[in-house]
Amino acid sequence: MSALIQDLKYGLRMLAKSPGFTSIAVLTLALGIGMNTAMFSVIYGVLLRPLPYPQPSRIVEIARTYRGKLESYAGMSARGFDFWKAHDEPFQYLAASTGMAFNLTGPDEPERIDGLRVSADYFNVLGVQPFLGRGFSSAEDQLGGANVAVLSYGLWQSHFGGDRHALGRSVLLDGVPYTIIGVMPKGFESIPPVALWTTIGQVRKTMGGGWNYDVIARLRPGLTPRNADAYLAPLSRFFFAEVAPDMKQSRVNSLRFVATPYRFMITNDIRTPLLVLFGAVGFLLLIACVNVANLLLSRTTTRNREMALRTALGAGRGRIFRQLLTESVLLSTFGAALGLVVAVWGLDSLLALAPNVLPRAQHVALNGWALFFTAGSAILAGLLVGLAPGIAASHANLNESLKEGARGAGLSVRHRRLSAGMVCAEVALSLILLIGCGLLVRTFANLLAVNPGFDPRHMLALQISTKGSQYSSMPALAAYYRELTARIEAIPGVQSAAVVAAGSPLERGGNDNPGVFVHGELQHPSVDYREITPGYFRTLGVPIVRGRPFTEADSSGAAKVVIVNAEFARQHFRNQNPVGQHLISGKGQMEIVGVAGDVRSSLNAPAPPTYFVPMAQASFAVDQLFQSWFPTSILVRTSVDPLSLGREVVNAVRAANPNIPIGRVQSMEETLALSLATERFSMTLMSVFAGLALLLAAVGLYGVISYSVARRTHEIGIRMALGAQRADVLRLIVKQGLQLTLIGVGIGIAAGLGLTRFLSSLLYGVKPSDPITFIAVPSILAGVALAACYIPARRATKVDPMTALRYE
């Protein structure tokens, strides 16, 4: 114990003696540890943190694998849910939910709120009951059941002032009264978090017809998801036979139902980017450690004499090793302390960077686990940092050290190899990060270069919802939209306006399975569906490549017409002209009167085949259904900055009808930026990590070359005395640095080729082995390395041979 205290005291004294070294080492480690802590906090909060329900590991979602690979979206139809209710042996409770938005009308302005339709056992699956009133009964949860609602604590507070007598009163949702039967406890959040819950049974004919339900379950006590899988898998065949008899047999054979931990399912989209970034930041810490280890190594061996002396005086190798480890762990402890500051700041910036990217982001914080992680990585870093110099010192040849020490020469050959090897490793590691960064930057550039099919500049998009409003038919809605767009078009600076329902450009939208005759055979392909006003294509600037756009004449009474997009025509009409052909819906035939240019729903995928119907001819029920998931959008083409007209457009909407709630108002360029939020998040973080890695590697290389120049001053003096020109000296030093760099680059490229495949799902328009990246990035790195070597090399040419030789 006293030996430890002595080691600590001595270590502190040594660190205090060289404040420059100590602060660089501590800063480097703080950066590495801090960034890792921040990233870990995100990983923990988003991916690892248990769901905030009792015994959360028992909550699973019934998901599907396709050829053994988990499908990221696990939609179920109402009949599918029925099937599992009949086959629920491994489950204590089983429930379905589907998210939907409601128009909440009351004494104040109408509001669009997020709700969740859930089946009766939903709260039982989560294991949380209302703190006031009760949950849903199965009598309520069916077609024709009573309209009842459970409020969130927040909505209860804001709209009922926390009044216990709210129970039994009603709320108007989409114009329909729902009786309040319960209030959930404070802090309770469902997935996704919503303001209120109501029953799902009522919509089994509408929403339940599609694959729109999430089915979750609470496992019976003692069962694992694996047990449930064993039960579900053999039932898959029967499921499809009963629920989807039309499905192709080959596809049925490839699909299996599995019980996947719910926590896992809700983070499917973000998991890979987060893990990749976590790996990247881990590399960064490794680089930081190697950097400090190298600093420590060169310092240790300038202290060779001291070490040799200590050995000569009888200190055992173990003792010296321990002394060095004590110093490095001290360094990493200080690094971790400062790293926490870096982490707080890093986490803030990270979360600010990703407002819409991270699910459960509101729970991401530096908590106990993060501190535990910090402490762990500090100890690990300390050991890692101290290992190389420790081993080097304890294996040092005493005689050699004293001899070399006498000549003031520093590192032995073995130490220098170790040091050089570490620089190579740093270069290789940072190259891997840079390559990853290069690929993500190229991906982002590719996405930005994608033509979405329309010009997003000078365009404003407002979300509205007409659910439960006074407009109870499509002709009424169409008339309202006509007035609305006319009012908006009267605003100076507005060129044109249009309304689209069931999905807006650059966002997900609804789909449908209309009948199409392909080579005389009736098929029902799954295609996207939109309802539009006549000005839609004109406002977007999307060309009508064949036929005609809709006009006001395409009214509810007129012949049913549709327009398809070019992708639809390509996929389902091949070389034929679609104009004049028909789509078949439940209510009859619709004539295709035009083919429009493609507009993307997401930049990283081609436009889905889509058909458009005139607003006035759409089905009111379908319109209302789609409004539950996708807000209706007013698109405004402006000749000025679109956001500058926001206020006036909102006023025009209010003037047309004050009872229609207005949601998000944003420019189409903002929508575009938001649609790239995940990509931007990954790219930005990767760039930051790679940039820091490059900096650290450059500093590491600079340090080693500088040290080498300092060590070789005498040698350089001799060389100059023997007639070496400045260019000879410059070449000598730069060559040394470039050799290390090239070895590191070689290793980095090889490792990069192996590792970038983990990135492949994050890439767009660029292969993981993209030759441009694999050539350009190493060149940049080599350039930086050259600069890092050039500075000490220039210093070497300034060596005065007289002084160098005299110094001896």
Question: Would you call 147 exposed, middle or buried from its count of C-beta atoms within 10 A (0-12, 13-18, 19+)?
Answer: middle
- Residue count of the chain, please give it: 808
Give the interface with another protein as residue ranges (CB under 8 A): 403, 409, 413, 714-715, 718-726, 728, 801-802, 805, 808
Which C-beta is closer to another protein: that of 497 or that of 724? 724
Pick from 367, 395, 375: nearest CA to 329: 375
Which C-beta is closer to another protein: that of 58 or that of 712? 712
Distance (Å, rounded) from C-alpha 550 to C-alpha 59?
A: 49
Strand 521-523 versus strand 515-518 pairing type:
antiparallel
Contacts 24+ apart (CB under 8 A), 680-684: 680/353, 680/444, 681/273, 681/353, 681/354, 681/357, 682/273, 682/276, 682/277, 682/440, 682/762, 683/437, 683/440, 683/441, 683/443, 683/444, 684/353
Which C-beta is closer to another protein: that of 8 or that of 805? 805
Which C-beta is closer to another protein: that of 673 or that of 805? 805
Q: What does the CA dihedral 761, 765, 768, 772 come to, rounded to 10 degrees?
A: -160
Which C-beta is closer to another protein: that of 293 or that of 720? 720
Pick from 531, 507, 658: nearest CA to 111: 658
Pick from 292, 346, 383, 323: nearest CA to 23: 292
Shortest distance, CB of residue 710 to another protein, whole angstroms?
15
Local structure of residue 166 (DSSP, 8 states): G
Which C-beta is closer to another protein: that of 508 or that of 726? 726
Which C-beta is closer to another protein: that of 41 or that of 713? 713
Which C-beta is closer to another protein: that of 482 or that of 714? 714
Shortest distance, CB of residue 806 to another protein, whole angstroms?
8
3-state SS, residue 745: helix
Helices (H) and strands (E) in the chain, counts: 26, 24
Shortest distance, CB of residue 681 to another protein, whole angstroms?
49
Shortest distance, CB of residue 706 to another protein, whole angstroms?
17
Shortest distance, CB of residue 302 to another protein, whole angstroms?
16
Local structure of residue 203 (DSSP, 8 states): G
Q: Within 10 A of 309 (CB to CB), how many other CB atoms are there? A: 15
Shortest distance, CB of residue 407 to another protein, whole angstroms?
8
User: CA 180, 184, 190, 195 torsion: positive or negative?
Assistant: positive
Which C-beta is closer to another protein: that of 322 or that of 711? 711
Which C-beta is closer to another protein: that of 463 or that of 797? 797
Shortest distance, CB of residue 724 to another protein, whole angstroms?
5
Local structure of residue 305 (DSSP, 8 states): H
Burial code (b: 16+ CB inside 10 Å, e: under 16) for 530-546 equals bbbbbbbbebbbbebeb
Shortest distance, CB of residue 711 to another protein, whole angstroms?
10
The H or E element spanning position 396 is none
Distance (Å, rounded) from C-alpha 414 to C-alpha 437?
A: 34
Shortest distance, CB of residue 798 to another protein, whole angstroms?
11
Shortest distance, CB of residue 422 to another protein, whole angstroms?
19
Distance (Å, rounded) from C-alpha 658 to C-alpha 478?
A: 17
Distance (Å, rounded) from C-alpha 637 to C-alpha 145?
A: 45
Shortest distance, CB of residue 807 to another protein, whole angstroms?
11
Shortest distance, CB of residue 720 to another protein, whole angstroms?
7
Which C-beta is closer to another protein: that of 787 or that of 802? 802
Which C-beta is closer to another protein: that of 87 or that of 731? 731
Please provide residue 803's backbone torsions phi and psi, each rounded to the nearest 5 degrees. -65, -45
Shortest distance, CB of residue 801 to another protein, whole angstroms?
6
Which C-beta is closer to another protein: that of 696 or that of 789? 789
Say which residues have a Cβ less than 8 Å from residue 633's Cβ, sequence separation at least 6. Answer: 461, 462, 463, 464, 499, 500, 501, 504
Distance (Å, rounded) from C-alpha 295 to C-alpha 307?
A: 17
Which residues are bridge partners to 461 per DSSP?
635, 666
Which C-beta is closer to another protein: that of 58 or that of 711? 711
Shortest distance, CB of residue 715 to another protein, whole angstroms?
5
Q: Within 10 A of 551 (CB to CB), how many other CB atoms are there? A: 12
